[in-house]
């Protein structure tokens, strides 16, 4: 049983959940990297290995979201993201494994090799892939799908928000913090002073923040923004935190009434660079460094930018006497061979450009 349910039996009874993950994910010390950037006690939480054949952070949320879709008797799910969305792909793969059909509603982004791979993989997983020029067109596309279903007497699909970051999805990362606490209690690492991680729709960071408070830990979170603050404001983060705590307490009143504390949620916005999914020099330096020193795969959109922040703080001597954990959110399972077997011509026209246009300069 997952650690959150073990502690709060009311949640186990009430919340929808379907096991997709192979948990706990490993924690390991990064001695070489730590020494080279001046962080004596550096560790990594390898959420790349959450699941097969596609892992990463999104699967922890999907255990609850797809659990709810099944509980409601749904046969189809629909979700949203940018063209190379790891979330849309994780949804396609894991919904498919559960026998649910999935629809990926996708918006434009900067081109990269991983975008091509994720698009091909999504199609291979059996998802209906749809590309839109902007958010407005995508929203009306979603409306059309719902009307279409109703017109033919079928159920509308179960809707999963971007990044899976609803209060229910966030519960997956409250549990992830309980999982890390167990690993700390088993002496796999000391309690961290700081956890660094990239922040997109913030479900990952908010879940961890709730877990930290509920477990009365000293750990501070350092969420590194990888997209514009207009997209996910601090008010939105506060609201997601409150809604999730409310959901947990409504289902088990023993869950503590914790509240959001900006002193313990140290958002950084210096590493966005030129915007979402536009690779940056600093981010790519972090990708190369992590690969060379520790054989860890990071990416240009999320984890490279997050790790660049940690590396720079370390080099500036800010983390000398601290225990620091990097929460690696990127899928670590190799899927490139699967993607080779599909032809992009089978994707809808608006998505062809990622195969016909060059990738961005820093990805060549
Ligand atoms: C989606 C994603 C994130 C961001 O997670 P949020 O919960 O949306 O903040 C970070 N890293 C990777 C690799 C992701 O795919």
For the record, the structure tokens of 201 come out as 């729709």
Residues of the chain with pLDDT under 50: none
**Best residue for ligand 1 mutational test, from 198, 279, 306, 310 (most atoms within 8 Å of Cβ):** 198
DSSP string, 108-119: -----HHHHHHH
Tell me the CA–centroid distance for residue 148 and ligand 1, in Å.
31
Which pTM does this prediction carry?
0.98
**Best residue for ligand 1 mutational test, from 25, 55, 57 (most atoms within 8 Å of Cβ):** 57
* Among candidate residues 326, 237, 348, 224, the one with its CA nearest the CA of residue 276: 224
pLDDT at residue 74, as a whole number:
97
DSSP designation for 73: T
Tell me the CA–centroid distance for residue 197 and ligand 1, in Å.
9
User: Which residues does a 6 A CB cutoff place in the pocket of ligand 1?
Assistant: 56-58, 86-87, 163, 165, 198-205, 302-303, 329-330
Tell me the CA–centroid distance for residue 313 and ligand 1, in Å.
21
Residue appearing with tokens 């409601």: 72
pLDDT at residue 342, as a whole number:
86
**Best residue for ligand 1 mutational test, from 58, 265, 328 (most atoms within 8 Å of Cβ):** 58
Ligand 1 atom with minimal separation from the 198 CA: 10
Q: How far apart are CA 363 and CA 54, in angstroms?
A: 22
pLDDT at residue 251, as a whole number:
98
Spell out the alpha helix ranges (H) of the chain. 3-7, 9-14, 31-37, 58-71, 86-97, 113-124, 135-151, 167-185, 203-214, 234-251, 281-294, 303-315, 336-340, 353-356
Residue 107 pairs in a beta bridge with: 82
Tell me the CA–centroid distance for residue 345 and ligand 1, in Å.
28
Q: How far apart are CA 300 and CA 284, in angstroms?
A: 6
Tell me the CA–centroid distance for residue 22 and ligand 1, in Å.
19
Measured at the CA of 304, the angle between CA 301 and CA 309, to 5 degrees, comes to: 120
Which residue's CA is the closest to the ligand 1 atom numbered 4? 200
Tell me the CA–centroid distance for residue 93 and ligand 1, in Å.
17
Q: Which strands form 76-82's sheet, in the order they lie side by side? A: 128-131, 101-107, 76-82, 158-160
* Among candidate residues 215, 224, 169, 225, the one with its CA nearest the CA of residue 195: 224
**Best residue for ligand 1 mutational test, from 90, 204, 306 (most atoms within 8 Å of Cβ):** 204
Tell me the CA–centroid distance for residue 303 and ligand 1, in Å.
8
Give the number of other CB atoms < 10 A from CB of residue 70. Answer: 19
| pLDDT single digits (tens) 45-95 | 999 999 999 999 999 999 999 999 999 999 999 999 999 999 999 999 999
Ligand 1 atom with minimal separation from the 90 CA: 15
For the record, the structure tokens of 5 come out as 């349910």
Phi, psi at residue 330, to the nearest 5°?
Answer: -85, 135
Tell me the CA–centroid distance for residue 151 and ligand 1, in Å.
35
Tell me the CA–centroid distance for residue 302 and ligand 1, in Å.
7
Which residue's CA is the closest to the ligand 1 atom numbered 13? 330
pLDDT at residue 134, as a whole number:
97
pLDDT at residue 52, as a whole number:
97
Tell me the CA–centroid distance for residue 355 and ligand 1, in Å.
24
What's the Cα-to-Cα distance from 265 to each of 82, 159, 205, 237, 325, rounded to whole Å? 26, 29, 9, 10, 15
Ligand 1 atom with minimal separation from the 197 CA: 10
Contact 209, 165 (CB under 8 A): no
């Amino acid at each position: 049983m997952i650690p959150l349910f073990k502690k709060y039996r009311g949640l186990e009874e009430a919340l929808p959940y379907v096991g997709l993950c192979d948990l706990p994910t490993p924690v390991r010390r990064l001695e070489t990297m730590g020494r080279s950037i001046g962080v004596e006690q550096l560790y990594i939480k390898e959420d790349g290995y959450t699941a097969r054949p596609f892992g990463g952070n999104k699967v922890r949320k999907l255990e609850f979201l797809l659990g709810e879709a099944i509980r409601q008797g749904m046969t189809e799910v629909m979700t949203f993201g940018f063209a190379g969305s790891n979330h849309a792909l994780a949804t396609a793969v894991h919904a498919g494994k559960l026998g649910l059909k999935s629809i990926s509603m996708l918006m434009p982004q900067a081109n990269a090799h991983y975008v091509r791979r994720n698009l091909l993989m999504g199609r291979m997983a059996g998802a209906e892939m749809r590309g839109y020029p902007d958010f407005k067109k995508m929203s009306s596309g979603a409306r059309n799908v719902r009307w279409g279903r109703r017109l033919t007497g079928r159920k509308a699909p179960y809707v999963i928000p971007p990044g899976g970051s609803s209060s229910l999805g966030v519960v997956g990362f409250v549990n992830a913090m309980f999982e890390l606490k167990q690993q700390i209690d088993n002496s796999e690492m000391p309690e961290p002073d700081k956890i660094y991680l990239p922040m997109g729709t913030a479900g990952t960071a908010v879940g961890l923040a709730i877990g930290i408070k509920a477990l009365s830990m000293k750990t501070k979170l350092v969420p590194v923004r990888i997209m514009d603050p207009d997209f996910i404001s601090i008010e939105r983060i506060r609201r997601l935190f409150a809604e999730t705590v409310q959901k947990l307490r409504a289902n088990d009143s023993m869950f503590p009434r914790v509240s959001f504390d900006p002193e313990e949620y140290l958002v950084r916005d210096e590493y966005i660079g030129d915007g979402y999914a536009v690779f940056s020099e600093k981010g790519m330096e972090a990708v190369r460094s992590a690969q060379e020193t520790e054989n860890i795969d990071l990416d240009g959109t999320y984890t490279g930018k997050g790790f660049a922040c940690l590396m720079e703080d370390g080099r500036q001597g800010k983390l000398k006497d601290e225990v620091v954990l990097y929460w690696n959110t990127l899928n670590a399972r190799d899927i490139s061979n699967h993607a080779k077997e599909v032809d992009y011509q089978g994707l809808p026209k608006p998505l062809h450009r990622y195969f016909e246009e060059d990738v961005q300069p820093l990805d060549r």
